[in-house]
Amino acid sequence: MPRLKKQNIIKRPRRKTTPLQTVKGMRDVLPKEQFIWEHILNKSRKLCEDFGFQKIDTPILEYTELFERGVGQVTDIVEKEMFSFETRGGSKVSLRPEGTAGVARAYIEKGMSRWTQPVKLYYEGSMFRYENPQEGRYREHHQFGFEIFGDGCSAIDAQTIYLAWKIFQKIGIKNLAIQINSIGCSECRPNYKNLLTDYYELKINKLCVDCKKRLVKNPLRLLDCKEDKCLQVAAAAPQIIDHLCSDCHDHFKNTLEFLDELELPYVLNSNLVRGLDYYTRTVFEIWSSGPDSSGRQSSLGGGGRYDNLVEVLGGGDVPAVGFSFGIERIVKKLLNDGRGLDKKVVKQVFIVQLGDAARKKALKLFDKLIDSKVSVGESLGRESIKSQLKIANKFNSKMALIIGQKEALDGTVIIRDMESGIQEVITMDKVIVEIKRRLKK
């Protein structure tokens, strides 16, 4: 028999697995942050409802054409910032990059033009932008916004600005200022674009790479560039407010008079244009300065009028105006301003148990207290009474309900006053009534 050769067995090193992480540009909102998020959302919802707005939820996934037609094909959002893909059925869809286009689509599709006008809607939810995330920005971010359809009066512009201002006031942001401009309409804007293009063509060597492209595709966006050299060029550019048609001039003048009546401080900003194609006439942003930015001002949110959007999307001639803000940006602003919005979790009563029999009684008692609307805490997995009482102290509990083996057999509970340490034994059937009596005192 031939001698078998010994095979060399190669031992491959075990591949080291690394824990999964969030996708780039996404983030978790942890429990300790949830309170500040709810603070922002609750104040915003309440004010919108006070102003007569109703909530609407639209899908996060829409046909790509909605944003190409509504937002504009030559905007940064559509050109390079959308999460777009093709379905198995061949449909081109995108994760929504902003909220207004979807709400306008719903207005048309659901026949809201037959409702009593104006139609006032507010929304909240995730938006998606495929851009390289910078500090404080995320590919999935969350917006709160509101829209008014069916009224072209300048008083509605002023009311929109006032509501935006009021929301930030109620949230607790200081040093607010309104930046406002008019970008005209389809009658007067083309002539202004020609003037702007002529001006910038003479300065083309002083522009950044992106602005050289914008000069051809979307000259209004030249005014919005944040590059230092482009800001210097924009400072001497023609101002659109000097080239408005009579209707746009009167509309803007009336809007400012309404703001004066409301005693809202505003600044005329001739370089404010916003980044989306659907805007017409009034555009505005709410700015704030604070110690976090060494006195520099930063935009908290923005909006304006978009009288042509519904028609562009296939609806009728419906004037509209709206506003939105990023929730992450407001959270960061509040934290940088040192706002103490941390919420301490308080449990009025804490159940302490020892042993399996007591744990069963504790679980049933917990359920009864919840049904009786008593704020109650527990740590059923712990065995030590001392460690459970420490947790009760962290929850600022007024009373501890202690159930040991003896109490489980006797059908009793020890009520311990957490401040004085005084304890009293009471039967299980009377504990709810006694707890409520003591809490009232």
C-beta separation of 411 from 428 below 8 A: yes
Q: Is the peptide bond before 31 cis (omega within 30 degrees of 0)?
A: no
Please tell me the predicted confidence (pLDDT) of residue 2: 52
In this prediction, residue 72 carries a pLDDT of: 66
DSSP 77-130: HHHHS--EEE-TTS-EEEE-S-SHHHHHHHHHHTTGGGSSSSEEEEEEEEEE--
CA–CA separation, 211 vs 218, rounded Å?
Answer: 9
Tokens representing residue 360 in the block: 């069963």
The C-alpha atoms of residue 101 and residue 106 are separated, in whole angstroms, by 9
Show the CA angle centred on residue 296, arms to residues 290 and 302, nearest 5°. 85
pLDDT value, residue 230: 86
Q: What structural domains and CATH numbers belong to the chain?
A: 31-174+268-336 (3.30.930.10), 349-440 (3.40.50.800)
Q: Note the pLDDT of residue 293.
A: 43
Q: Model pTM?
A: 0.84
Q: What is the pLDDT of residues 224-264, one digit of tens each?
A: 787 888 888 888 888 888 899 999 999 999 999 999 999 99
Residue type, 16: K
* pLDDT for 7: 55
Residues 6+ apart with CB under 8 A from 34: none
Q: What local confidence, expressed as pLDDT, does residue 16 receive?
A: 66
pLDDT tens digits for range 72-101: 655 566 666 788 889 999 999 999 999 999
Are 170 and 43 within 8 A, CB to CB?
yes
What was the pLDDT predicted at 291? 43
Which residue ranges of the chain lie beneath pLDDT 70?
Answer: 1-17, 72-80, 133-136, 275, 290-297, 340-343
Residue 262 corresponds to which tokens in the numbers above? 């409301």
Beta strands in 258-411 (DSSP E): 266-268, 280-289, 297-305, 320-326, 349-353, 376-378, 399-403
What pLDDT, on a 0 to 100 scale, did the predictor assign at position 345? 73
Contacts 24+ apart (CB under 8 A), 72-76: 72/218, 72/276, 72/277, 72/278, 74/217, 74/218, 74/277, 75/218, 75/221, 75/275, 75/276, 75/277, 76/221, 76/275
Find the angle CA(71)-CA(72)-CA(74) to the nearest 5 degrees. 135
What are the tokens at 151?
């009224």
